[in-house]
Amino acid sequence: MALDLNDPELEFADLVTAYQSWVMAVINDEKLDGEEKLLTDEIAEDAFNAMRFLPDVVTSAIETTLARVYDVDEEELNSLLYPEG
């Protein structure tokens, strides 16, 4: 289900979940050699839409926390999430 930014019921937690789902999917697909790829265009689009409304401190906290949970170096995670950067 795509994130509907016009939905009056949309909550901050929905934005956090969308961004968190993207980070976890990237880690799964690039680092954990998951048999099934989790990252979809819909997950990526929702995350990029959520980033427009999430403060940098929130996205950074999500990335840092998930990097620790999945034992991924934070710099490496940054290069996986933003390869052009």
* pLDDT at residue 38, rounded to an integer: 92
The domain limits of the chain are 12-81
The three-class DSSP label of residue 6 is: coil
Weakly modelled stretches of the chain, pLDDT under 70? 1, 34, 85
Contact between residue 3 and residue 46 where contact means Cβ atoms under 8 Å apart: yes
How far is the C-alpha of 5 from the C-alpha of 46, rounded, in Å? 9
How far is the C-alpha of 41 from the C-alpha of 33, rounded, in Å? 19
**Tokens 């949309």 belong to residue:** 10
How far apart, in Å, are the Cα atoms of 18 and each of 35, 69? 22, 18
Share of the chain above pLDDT 70, in %: 96
